[in-house]
C-alpha cells in the first residue's frame, strides 16, 4: 500500500470519520463512564457499525463479510482512536476474526465468522496472566478428560471479557511456563459454563476489560482452535495483528490530541498574544508534528505487511508498537502541558486521551517489550 489511499479507502475513511464523530464522540465515553454502564459500550451503535460493514472487514465475502482487509480495519481503528470510541473492534473484529481465520476448522469458521460480520457475537482473547504482557507466561492448564478438556487458571486484562459471548482461552497442554510450545487455544462459551467466572475491571481509560477465572471448566475437543500444543502458531500472528491494530488506534488518538492542542495554542492568549506565537511552544509543536509523520509511516507499513502477508509482519508489528507506545506518551504529555492547568481537568478531552494512551501502550507489550523483541528478531 502506498502513502496515498485508494478511492475506496478514502471513502471508507470518510464514512468512518463521520460515523465516530457523530455517533461515538468522546462525550459517549464520558457518558458510559459516568453512568457506570454495565456493558461499557452501546449495543445499538455496534449493530449500526455492523450494518455499515465495519464488523466484517476481515471476514471473507463468502462468510458474509466486507473483506476490506487489514488496511481497511486500520483506517477504521484510526478514526475510532480520534474519539476514543469504546467498541469491540479490537477484541472481536481484529483478534477474534484473525484467530478463527488462522486456526478455525471449517465448522468453527462457518459458526463464527458470519456472526462476527453481522455484529451478533462478541469474542475476547484471554491470554495475559500477570501485570505485564507476556504471552508465553501461561500457567493456565488444560488436561484431557475423556473426550473433553478441563481448563483451570486465571486471566487478567481480557479486553471485552465481560461482554464476550465466546472467550479464546490460551492454556497449557504441555511444557513449562514460558515455553511457547505446548500452548493450546480453546473456544469457551461464556453463558452457562460451570466453573467460569468473569469480573469486569475498571481501568484508567474507562474502557472494557475483565478478569477471568476458570475452575475445572469442561470443554469438548471440538472447542480446540488450531492444533493441540501448537497454539503459538495461531497466537503469535493474532497478537501481531493486535499490536498493529492498537498502533493504528493510537495513531488516530495522538493526531486528534495534537490537532486539538493546535487549536488551543491559537485560541488561548497570554501577555496579549496567542500562546502559539511563542517560539518555545512552536518548537515543541514542530517536534510533535515530525514524530506524527514518522508514526504514520510506521503504522502504514505494518498494516501493508499484514495485508500483503509479508514475512516481516512480526518485526514491523514490534516496530510500530514500540514507536507508538513511546510517541503516544510523549505527545499526550506535551498536549496536556500545553493546555496548562486546564489540561488536568476532566472538562478537557486531553486527559482522556492521555489515559487511553497509557493503557494502549501497555496492551500487547509496551515499548520495552517490543524493542527487545525487535532486536531478537533481527538476531541481536
Ligand X SMILES: Cc1cc2nc3c(=O)[nH]c(=O)nc-3n(C[C@H](O)[C@H](O)[C@H](O)COP(=O)(O)OP(=O)(O)OC[C@H]3O[C@@H](n4cnc5c(N)ncnc54)[C@H](O)[C@@H]3O)c2cc1C
Instruction: Return residues touching ligand X (CB under 6 A).
Output: 128, 131-133, 157, 203-204, 359, 362-363
In the chain, the DSSP E strands lie at 123-126, 141-145, 148-159, 166-172, 183-189, 196-202, 208-220, 224-225, 269-270, 273-274
322 has which bridge partners?
none
Residue 122 φ/ψ, nearest 5 degrees? -115, 135
Shortest distance, CB of residue 158 to ligand X, whole angstroms?
Answer: 10
CA–centroid distance for 256 within its chain: 18
Q: Which are the contacts of 175, defined by CB distance < 8 A and separation ≥ 6?
A: 181, 182, 183, 229
Query: Counting runs of H as helices and runs of E as strands, what totals does the chain give?
Result: 11, 10
Q: What is the DSSP string of 128-144?
A: --SSS--TT----EEEE
Shortest distance, CB of residue 170 to ligand X, whole angstroms?
Answer: 15
- Taking only Cα atoms into account, the Rg of the chain, rounded to an integer number of angstroms, comes to 21
Is the CB of 96 or the CB of 365 nearer to ligand X?
Answer: 365
Q: Which are the contacts of 101, defined by CB distance < 8 A and separation ≥ 6?
A: 58, 109, 113
Is the CB of 219 or the CB of 354 nearer to ligand X?
Answer: 354
Shortest distance, CB of residue 132 to ligand X, whole angstroms?
Answer: 5
Is the CB of 318 or the CB of 363 nearer to ligand X?
Answer: 363
Shortest distance, CB of residue 80 to ligand X, whole angstroms?
Answer: 18
Is the CB of 17 or the CB of 363 nearer to ligand X?
Answer: 363
Residue for grid cell 478511492: 7
Is the CB of 98 or the CB of 206 nearer to ligand X?
Answer: 206
Q: How many residues can be counted in the chain?
A: 380
Residue 145: exposed, middle, or buried by beta-carbon count in 10 A (0-12, 13-18, 19+)?
exposed
Shortest distance, CB of residue 157 to ligand X, whole angstroms?
Answer: 4
Shortest distance, CB of residue 137 to ligand X, whole angstroms?
Answer: 11
Shortest distance, CB of residue 226 to ligand X, whole angstroms?
Answer: 23
Amino acid at each position: 500500500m502506498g502513502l496515498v489511499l485508494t478511492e475506496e479507502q478514502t471513502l471508507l475513511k470518510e464514512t468512518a470519520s463521520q460515523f465516530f464523530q457523530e455517533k461515538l464522540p468522546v462525550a459517549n465515553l464520558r457518558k458510559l463512564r459516568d453512568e457506570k454502564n454495565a456493558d461499557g459500550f452501546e449495543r445499538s451503535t455496534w449493530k449500526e457499525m455492523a450494518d455499515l460493514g465495519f464488523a466484517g472487514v476481515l471476514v471473507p465475502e463468502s462468510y458474509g463479510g466486507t473483506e476490506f482487509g487489514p488496511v481497511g480495519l486500520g483506517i477504521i481503528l484510526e478514526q475510532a482512536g480520534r474519539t476514543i470510541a469504546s467498541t469491540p473492534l479490537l477484541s472481536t473484529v481484529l483478534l477474534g476474526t484473525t484467530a478463527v481465520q488462522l486456526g478455525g476448522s471449517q465448522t468453527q469458521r462457518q459458526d463464527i465468522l458470519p456472526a462476527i460480520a453481522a455484529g451478533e457475537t462478541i469474542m475476547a482473547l484471554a491470554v495475559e496472566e500477570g501485570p505485564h504482557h507476556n504471552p508465553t507466561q501461561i500457567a493456565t492448564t488444560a488436561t484431557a478428560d475423556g473426550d473433553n478438556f478441563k481448563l483451570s487458571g486465571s486471566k487478567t486484562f481480557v479486553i471485552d471479557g465481560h461482554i464476550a459471548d465466546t472467550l479464546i482461552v490460551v492454556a497449557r497442554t504441555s511444557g513449562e511456563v514460558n515455553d511457547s510450545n505446548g500452548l493450546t487455544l480453546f473456544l469457551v462459551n461464556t453463558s452457562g459454563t460451570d466453573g467460569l467466572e468473569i469480573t469486569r475491571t475498571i481501568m484508567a481509560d474507562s474502557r472494557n476489560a475483565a478478569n477471568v477465572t476458570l475452575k475445572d471448566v469442561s470443554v469438548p475437543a471440538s472447542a480446540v482452535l488450531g492444533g493441540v500444543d501448537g497454539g503459538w502458531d495461531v497466537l503469535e500472528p493474532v497478537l501481531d495483528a493486535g499490536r498493529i491494530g492498537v498502533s493504528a488506534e493510537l495513531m488516530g488518538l495522538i493526531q486528534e490530541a495534537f490537532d486539538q492542542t493546535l487549536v488551543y495554542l491559537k485560541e488561548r492568549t497570554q501577555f496579549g498574544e496567542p500562546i502559539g506565537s511563542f517560539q518555545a511552544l512552536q518548537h515543541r509543536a514542530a517536534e510533535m508534528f515530525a514524530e506524527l509523520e514518522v508514526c504514520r509511516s510506521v503504522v502504514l507499513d505494518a498494516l501493508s505487511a499484514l495485508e500483503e502477508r509479508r514475512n516481516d509482519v512480526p518485526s514491523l508489528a514490534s516496530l510500530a508498537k514500540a514507536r507508538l507506545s513511546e510517541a503516544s506518551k510523549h505527545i499526550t504529555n506535551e498536549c496536556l502541558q500545553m493546555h496548562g492547568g486546564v489540561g488536568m481537568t476532566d472538562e478537557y478531552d486531553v486527559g482522556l486521551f492521555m489515559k487511553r494512551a497509557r493503557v494502549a501502550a501497555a496492551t500487547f507489550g509496551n515499548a520495552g517489550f517490543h524493542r527487545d523483541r525487535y532486536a531478537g528478531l533481527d538476531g541481536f
